[in-house]
Amino acid sequence: MDRVVYVVSDLHLGPGSLPDGTLDPLEDFTAGEDFARFLAQIGTGGDPVELVIAGDLLEVPQTLPEVGLAAPTDHLGSTEEESLRRVRVIMGQSPEVSSGHPEVFAALRRFMVEGNSVTIIAGNHDIDLLWGEVWAAVFDAIYPPGAAGDLRLYEYCYTVGDGPAGRVYIEHGQEHDKANRFGDRMTMPFALDDQGVRRLKRCWGTLFVEKVYNKLERDRWFIDNVKPIPKVVSLGLRNDFRFTATALGLMATFLLTSGLPPIFGGGGGVLGATADAAPQGAEDVVAAMAEDELRAQIEAQLDDPAFRAEFEEAVRGADQTSLGAALSGAAAPMSMGEAAGESVVLGGAGAEGDDYRRAARAVLEGDPAVTTVIMGHTHAPIDGYTSPLDLADGRTCYYFNSGTWTRHLKDQDRDYSWAEIADLANYTSSNTYIKLEPQADGSYKPTLGNWGSTEALRH
């Protein structure tokens, strides 16, 4: 009989703790001990199993954030050497920078020592795994020489089972999210910059993280837990005025100068910017915004001298040539809605849930041997049995989401105050996974599980 398979996703292993022992504000993963216990539980005392990590094992854009800011163009990010430096930090090989997560890689190695297998799918936050040297470093950290199991990397999707029916198709899901898609099923992850240097392609969501969110999270670690973004603005203006003025300045200039690059089907940011282009004042920046709600929020505050000072300081920090060109009409400004539906979410998800269900239905209709589709990316676990997909050929199929192992607010259905969002007592880690059990007819039975919650998170 085929082996049992466990699917997890969206661990987002980042920089870990700073040399002084405090958690890096850009770190979202705090479940290292839980994950190690999970692996020990499923990987010992029985037949070998397989672990599938369905994307975003690593949080590369929030590790060594200066690397992302130094990229010479918006639509391209790290070189292979830069990606390797970032991933070595995450693996715990640069303790002078931060701790990383060596305990997770050690746990994965022990899991393989027991004869189990690990399959990793690249996600939008760890597309860096597709570099040869990066994958070689990760492989060496996880794979014990001579292990009976396999360690494999897939660029986009992976199918469990080879029977005539009941197979399970797994992908991360970023291609169904306009802000985070790459447009080519990750088959062409690299391109040459103007200097002939090979770099990773960079989706709009990653650019937003590297240019805006990293700066904001340094000051307010919890900022990515408030969605959608206009809600951040409303809460912040009432409770954290100066910080919110800075955030609005960063968002305004980003939306003006960082349209979706051409390879992702957008306007390419500011093209043809010249050194002679001169940026205008705060009113000109605000008037040019395509985001109606954010523009209204800013206009309502500009008469306040303190707000104006903070806002203008953030605007001055933008690339003035690109900003001047944008204000001169060199590129159409973007709105948050155009880029990502209602929100831009750090770990994923700007698209509506129906987009993923439609994508799952397309997979199921295209391959009658598949009866279950699993994705991650949105951080929202979904039990496929609660809303099955009925197909025209009479089959009843299922769409599951594996959720995340990062911390999140305990109650997603209530409004939190600014102070409550900053209080770690209001956070938990669901640690969800999907267990795929082989059946006698060659099919697999999926079950959504929860490895418990971590009530006391240290920051």
Which residue type does 193 have? D
Mean pLDDT lowest among 88-92, 100-104, 398-402, 454-458: 454-458
Residues above pLDDT 70, as percent of the chain: 85
Residues 22, 453: contact at Cβ < 8 Å? no
Token representation of residue 208: 């937003």
pLDDT of residue 342: 36
Nearest to 99 by CA among 214, 12, 21, 11: 21
pLDDT of residue 353: 58
SS (H, E, C) 189-255: CEEECCCCCEEEECCHHHHHHHHHHHHHHHHCCCHHHCCCHHHHHHHHHHHCHHHHHHHHHHHHHHH
Interacting residues of 184 by C-beta distance below 8 A, sequence separation 6+? none
Residue 372: strand pairing partners: 168, 398
Token representation of residue 345: 């979410």
Distance of CA 240 to the CA centre of its chain: 26
Band of pLDDT at residue 414, cut at 50, 70 and 90: confident
Residue 330 has pLDDT above 70, yes or no: no
Band of pLDDT at residue 146, cut at 50, 70 and 90: very high
Residue 341 has pLDDT above 70, yes or no: no
Residue 137 has pLDDT above 60, yes or no: yes
Residue 334 has pLDDT above 50, yes or no: yes
SS (H, E, C) 79-104: CHHHHHHHHHHHCCCCCCCCCCCHHH
From residue 126, how far is each of 106, 139, 206, 345 by CA, in Å? Answer: 19, 14, 10, 16
Nearest to 374 by CA among 304, 449, 287: 449
Band of pLDDT at residue 344, cut at 50, 70 and 90: very low
pLDDT of residue 289: 76
Residue 178 has pLDDT above 90, yes or no: no
Residue 338 has pLDDT above 60, yes or no: no
Interacting residues of 385 by C-beta distance below 8 A, sequence separation 6+? 398
- Global pTM reads 0.87
pLDDT tens per residue, range 220-259 = 888 877 766 666 777 787 788 788 888 878 877 777 776 5
Report the 10 Å Cβ neighbour count for 409.
Answer: 17
Of residues 95 and 282, the one with the higher pLDDT is 95
pLDDT of residue 259: 58
pLDDT of residue 370: 98
23: DSSP letter: B
pLDDT of residue 459: 31
Residue 396 has pLDDT above 90, yes or no: yes
Work out the average pLDDT over 167-183. Answer: 91
Radius of gyration of the chain from its Cα atoms, rounded to whole angstroms? 22
- Which residue segments constitute the domains of the chain, with CATH numbers given? 5-188+352-450 (3.60.21), 203-340 (no CATH)
Any alpha helices (H) in 300-352, and if so which ranges?
305-316, 320-327, 336-340
Of residues 62 and 234, the one with the higher pLDDT is 62
The SS3 of residue 421 is helix
Residues 64, 89: contact at Cβ < 8 Å? yes
184: DSSP letter: S
Residue 154: strand pairing partners: 121
